[in-house]
């Protein structure tokens, strides 16, 4: 697709500094280039793409950010809207309108859509994968967010981020590091600190607090009406939901109740039984529980405090319309009978 003069695998190039690295990145682009940034849209990829767009804006003829996935999470929709992130939904024929391609917060083999594109640059923080090449590769798995890498590029280039860009980058770093509770490095903290003075905290609060649509409040009502306690375990099946994020919110809410040690929230989404599990993780392991109970029925897994299972209803031999909170309790009957001590 793109004819690069430089066919070396840039993984072999050693840069002595960020400045050298960023200058090399810039040297790969020319005034006449039409650049497409591809993303699997989430806060980190959106913010990183916006930063790349800012960096290359006046150096190329055209630069567009294209999201491969549909953006369904409300916080992400609010982020795009309130930070005015220009997006073009991905279509295969879009590739013909551009001559250079950049991938951020992902790698070419991560998604079917990226596989046969020759990328000029790949910038990411996921563990490095093999079997692909790009002219410029900057992968730092030790970083909490790709947004941190791009914040360093901005600093090297002495670009002062706009309020929107700074807010996007801060939100990305906070999201990917779980508010610095998970996998955050010194670099993430430094980037956050440097960006903080440029961002708007009210805009950030607006994005962060937009978890729920008014139309989804009814599921909370159902949950509070139907929940059942079994000792310190709370179970509730809320029926068909318009998106599975609302189940996570209900589970997180019930997990705040002092008298609960385990939370199980189920719902029907796209013909699947989605179960969100929460516990405090103290001598408990939600991820292990989920894999043990559901490994033969569908997708299941998670961490000590949080887990999720997605089971096609056809694997359960139950009609979704007859599934209830009691059916949910029954799914765990054997597990809790065998491990009485773990309650
Ligand atoms: Mn990321």
Count of beta carbons in the 10 Å neighbourhood of residue 84: 10
CA of 176 to the centre of ligand 1 (A): 6
| Residue 56 host element (H or E) | helix 43-56
Q: Could you give the CA distance from residue 192 to residue 144 in angstroms, rounded to a whole number?
A: 11
Q: Which residues, listed in sequence order, are joined to residue 122 by a DSSP beta bridge?
A: 103, 137
What CATH number did the domain enclosing 83 receive?
3.90.1640.10
- The total of structural domains in the chain comes to 2
> The CATH number of the domain where 230 resides is what?
3.10.310.40
Instruction: Give the residue from 229, 222, 214, 230 showing the smallest Cα distance to 250.
Output: 222
Distances (CA, A) of 207 to 35, 76, 104, 243: 28, 8, 22, 18
What is the whole-number distance in angstroms between the Cα of residue 278 and the centre of ligand 1?
Answer: 24
Please indicate, yes or no, if residue 3 is contained in any of the structural domains.
no
CB 68 within 8 A of CB 40: yes
Collapsing DSSP to helix, strand or coil, 264 comes out as strand
The reported pLDDT for the residue numbered 166 is 98
Same domain, residue pair 138 and 30: yes
The pair of three-digit structure tokens given for residue 100, joined into one six-digit string: 């250079």
The total number of residues shown for the chain amounts to: 343
Domain boundary among 208, 226, 242: 208
From ligand 1's centre to the CA of 146, what distance in Å?
Answer: 5
Query: From ligand 1's centre to the CA of 15, what distance in Å?
Result: 23
**Residue 45 CA, ligand 1 centroid: distance in Å:** 6
Beta-carbon contacts of residue 26 (< 8 Å; ≥ 6 apart):
55, 56, 59
Last residue of a domain, one of 193, 208, 223: 208
2 within a domain of the structure (yes/no):
no
Instruction: Provide the 10 A C-beta neighbour count for residue 326.
Output: 10
The per-residue pLDDT string of the chain (343 residues; one tens digit each, 9 = 90 and over) reads: 443 444 344 556 789 999 999 999 999 999 999 999 999 999 999 999 999 999 999 999 999 999 999 999 999 999 999 999 999 999 999 999 999 999 999 999 999 999 989 999 999 999 999 999 999 999 999 999 999 999 999 999 999 999 999 999 999 999 999 888 877 789 999 999 999 999 999 999 999 999 999 999 999 999 999 999 999 999 999 999 999 999 999 999 999 999 999 999 999 999 999 999 999 888 899 999 999 999 889 999 988 999 999 999 999 888 899 999 999 999 998 888 744 443 3
pTM of the complete model beyond 0.75: yes
pLDDT at 11: 56
Shared-domain flag, residues 74 and 198: yes
Tally Cβ neighbours within 10 Å of residue 208.
17
What's the domain range around 296?
Answer: 214-342
Q: Are residues 313 and 227 in the same domain?
A: yes
- Examine residue 4 and state whether it is found in any structural domain, yes or no: no
Whether residue 230 sits in one domain with residue 86: no
Residue that is last in its domain, among 160, 175, 208: 208
């Amino acid at each position: 697709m793109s004819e690069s003069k430089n066919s070396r695998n840039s993984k072999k190039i050693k840069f002595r500094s960020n400045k050298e690295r960023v200058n090399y990145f810039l040297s790969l682009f020319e005034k006449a280039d039409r650049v497409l940034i591809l993303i699997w849209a989430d806060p980190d990829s959106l913010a990183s793409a916006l930063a790349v767009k800012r960096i290359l804006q006046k150096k190329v003829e055209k630069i567009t950010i294209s999201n491969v996935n549909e953006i369904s999470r409300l916080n992400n929709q609010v982020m795009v809207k309130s930070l005015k992130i220009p997006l073009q939904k991905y279509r295969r024929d879009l590739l013909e309108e551009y001559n250079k391609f950049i991938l951020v917060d992902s790698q070419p083999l991560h998604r079917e859509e990226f596989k046969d594109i020759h990328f000029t640059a790949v910038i990411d923080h996921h563990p490095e994968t093999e079997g692909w090449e790009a002219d410029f590769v900057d992968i730092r798995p030790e970083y909490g967010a790709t947004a941190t890498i791009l914040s360093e590029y901005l600093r090297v280039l002495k670009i002062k981020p706009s309020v929107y860009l700074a807010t996007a980058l801060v939100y990305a770093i906070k999201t990917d590091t779980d508010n610095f509770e998970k996998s955050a490095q010194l670099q993430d903290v430094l980037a956050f600190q440097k960006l903080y003075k440029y961002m708007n905290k009210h805009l950030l609060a607006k994005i962060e607090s937009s978890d729920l649509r008014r139309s989804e409040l009814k599921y909370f009502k159902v949950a509070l009406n139907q929940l059942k306690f079994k000792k310190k375990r709370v179970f509730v099946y809320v029926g068909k939901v318009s998106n599975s994020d609302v189940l996570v919110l209900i589970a997180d809410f019930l997990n705040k109740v002092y008298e609960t040690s385990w939370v199980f929230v189920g719902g029907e989404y796209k013909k699947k039984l989605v179960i969100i599990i929460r516990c405090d993780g103290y001598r408990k392991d939600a991820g292990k529980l989920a894999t043990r109970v559901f490994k033969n029925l569908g997708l299941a897994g998670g961490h000590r405090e949080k887990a999720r299972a997605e089971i096609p209803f056809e694997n359960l031999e139950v009609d979704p319309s007859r599934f209830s909170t009691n059916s949910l309790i029954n799914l765990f009957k054997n597990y809790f009978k065998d491990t009485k001590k773990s309650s």
